[in-house]
Structure 1
Amino acid sequence: MESNEQKEVADFLEQYSEIFNTMVKQVLSGSDKENLNSMMDSEKLTELLSKGVQVDTAELFSKQMSFMTQQAELWQNATKALLGSKVESVVSEERNDKRFKDSEWSENPVYNYLKQSYLLSSNMMQDTVNSLHFDDPKAEEQVKFYTRQYISSVSPTNNALTNPEVCRDILESKGENLIKGLQNFMQDLQQSPADALKINQTDVDAFTLGEDLAYTPGDVIYQNDLIQLIQYKASTKKVNEVPLLFIPPFINKYYVLDMDEQKSLIKWAVGQGHTVFVISWINPDKTLSHKGFNDYMKEGPIASLDVIEELTKSKKVNVVGYCIGGTLLATTQSYLLAKGDTRINSLTFLTTLLDFEEPGEIGVYLSEKMLPFLKKDIKEKGLLDGRVLGLAFSMLRENSLFWSYFVNNYLKGKDPAPFDILYWNSDSSNLPAETFDFYMTNTYQENNLIKDGAVEVEGVPIELSKIDTPSYFLATIADHIVLWQASYKGAKALSGPTRFVLAGSGHLAGVINSVDHGKYPHWVNEELSDTAEQWFESSTKKEGSWWTDWENWVEPQSGKQVTARKQGSKKYPSIEAAPGSYVRKRI
Structure 2
Amino acid sequence: METPVFNELKSNIDRAIHAFEGRITQGISPASLSLAYMDWLIHLLHSPGKFGELTENLTRKHFAYSVWSARAATDPATPPLIKPLQQDRRFNDPAWGKFPFNVIAQGFLMREQWWHYATTGIPGVSRHHENVVSFAARQWLDMFSPTNFPLTNPKIIDRTIQSGGMNLLKGMENLLEDVQNYTTGSGPACEGFCAGENLATTEGQVIYRNRLIELIQYSPKTEQVHAEPVLIIPAWIMKYYILDLSEHNSMVRYLVEKGHTVFMISWHNPDASDRDMAMKDYINRGVRDALKAINAIVPERQIHAVGYCLGGTLLATTAAALARDEDNRLKTLSLFTAQTDFTEAGELMLFIDESQLSYMEDIMWDRGYLDTTQMSGAFTLLRSYDLLWSRMVSEYWLGERPPVNDLMAWNADSTRMPYKMHTEYLSRLFLHNDLASGRFIVDDGPVSLRDIRVPIFSVATEKDHVAPWHSVYKLHGLVNTDLTFVLTSGGHNAGIVSEPGHPRRRYRMALNRPEDKYISADQWYERNEASEGSWWEPWSEWLAENSSERVAPPEMGNTEAGYAPLCKAPGTYVFEK
The TM-score with structure 1 as length reference comes to 0.85
More displaced 10-residue stretch of structure 1: 157-166 or 329-338: 157-166
The one-letter code matched in structure 1 to 2:540 is E
Query: Within 5 A, what are the aligned runs for 1:157-176?
Result: 157-166=147-156, 168-169=159-160, 172-173=165-166, 176=169
More displaced 10-residue stretch of structure 1: 202-211 or 283-292: 202-211
RMSD: 3.1
Distance in 2 separating the partners of 1:32 and 1:524: 47
Q: 1:471 aligns with which of 456, 467, 471?
A: 456
| Structure 1 residue 381 corresponds to structure 2 residue 375 | no
Structure 1 residues 213 and 482: CA distance shift in structure 2, 3 A: same
- Tell me if structure 2 keeps the 8 A contact 1:321–1:327: yes
Query: Within 5 A, what are the aligned runs for 1:529-548?
Result: 529-530=517-518, 531-548=520-537
- Tell me if structure 2 keeps the 8 A contact 1:479–1:506: yes
| 1:560-584 residue CA offsets vs partner (Å, 9 max, x unmatched) | 1101234223243332222222112
Q: Which residue of 2 aligns with 1:404?
A: 390
Q: Which residue of 1 aligns with 2:4?
A: none
Structure 1 residues 529 and 398: CA distance shift in structure 2, 3 A: farther
Identity, % of aligned positions: 30
Q: 1:287 aligns with which of 264, 270, 273?
A: 273
| 1:365-424 residue CA offsets vs partner (Å, 9 max, x unmatched) | 113321111111112210001232122112211111111222334445554421222222
More displaced 10-residue stretch of structure 1: 65-74 or 475-484: 65-74
| Structure 1 residue 417 corresponds to structure 2 residue 403 | yes
Q: Which runs of 5+ in 1 are unaligned?
A: 1-26, 193-197
Q: Which residue of 1 aligns with 2:554?
A: 565
Q: Which residue of 1 aligns with 2:5?
A: none
Distance in 2 separating the partners of 1:336 and 1:564: 27
| Structure 1 residue 455 corresponds to structure 2 residue 446 | no
SS of the residue 1:526 aligns to: strand
Q: 1:553 aligns with which of 542, 552, 557?
A: 542
Q: Which residue of 2 aligns with 1:47?
A: 38
Q: 2:432 aligns with which of 446, 459, 463?
A: 446
Distance in 1 separating the partners of 2:171 and 2:545: 60
Q: Which residue of 2 aligns with 1:18?
A: none
| 1:489-533 residue CA offsets vs partner (Å, 9 max, x unmatched) | 123212232222222222222222222325322222233541323
Q: Which residue of 2 aligns with 1:510?
A: 495
| Structure 1 residue 362 corresponds to structure 2 residue 355 | no
Distance in 2 separating the partners of 1:362 and 1:154: 23
Q: 1:72 aligns with which of 56, 59, 66?
A: 66
Q: 1:122 aligns with which of 103, 109, 112?
A: 112
Q: Which residue of 1 aligns with 2:182?
A: 189
Q: Which residue of 1 aligns with 2:20?
A: 31
Q: Which residue of 2 aligns with 1:12?
A: none
Distance in 1 separating the partners of 2:77 and 2:404: 41
SS of the residue 2:341 aligns to: coil
SS of the residue 2:331 aligns to: strand
Query: Within 5 A, what are the aligned runs for 1:419-438?
Result: 419-438=405-424
The one-letter code matched in structure 2 to 1:71 is Y
- Tell me if structure 1 keeps the 8 A contact 2:347–2:465: yes
Give the number of equivalent residue pairs: 548
Q: Which residue of 2 aligns with 1:575?
A: 566
The one-letter code matched in structure 2 to 1:255 is Y
Distance in 1 separating the partners of 2:74 and 2:451: 71
- Tell me if structure 2 keeps the 8 A contact 1:203–1:417: no
Structure 1 residues 247 and 162: CA distance shift in structure 2, 3 A: same
Structure 1 residues 585 and 134: CA distance shift in structure 2, 3 A: farther
Q: 1:500 aligns with which of 453, 472, 485?
A: 485
Q: CA deviation at 1:127?
A: 3.5
More displaced 10-residue stretch of structure 1: 167-176 or 563-572: 167-176
Q: Which runs of 5+ in 2 are unaligned?
A: 1-15
The TM-score with structure 2 as length reference comes to 0.86
Structure 1 residues 413 and 516: CA distance shift in structure 2, 3 A: closer
Structure 1 residues 471 and 51: CA distance shift in structure 2, 3 A: farther
| 1:323-366 residue CA offsets vs partner (Å, 9 max, x unmatched) | 11011001112222333422112111111111111111111111
Structure 1 residues 161 and 585: CA distance shift in structure 2, 3 A: farther
Q: 2:213 aligns with which of 208, 215, 227?
A: 227
Q: 2:134 aligns with which of 130, 144, 152?
A: 144
| 1:66-114 residue CA offsets vs partner (Å, 9 max, x unmatched) | 4212331354247548xxx87655445557644446665444x444443
Q: CA deviation at 1:231?
A: 1.0
- Tell me if structure 1 keeps the 8 A contact 2:237–2:417: yes
More displaced 10-residue stretch of structure 1: 314-323 or 565-574: 565-574
Distance in 1 separating the partners of 2:28 and 2:540: 50
- Tell me if structure 2 keeps the 8 A contact 1:485–1:532: yes
More displaced 10-residue stretch of structure 1: 170-179 or 525-534: 170-179
The one-letter code matched in structure 2 to 1:187 is Q
Query: Within 5 A, what are the aligned runs for 1:191-340?
Result: 204-340=190-326
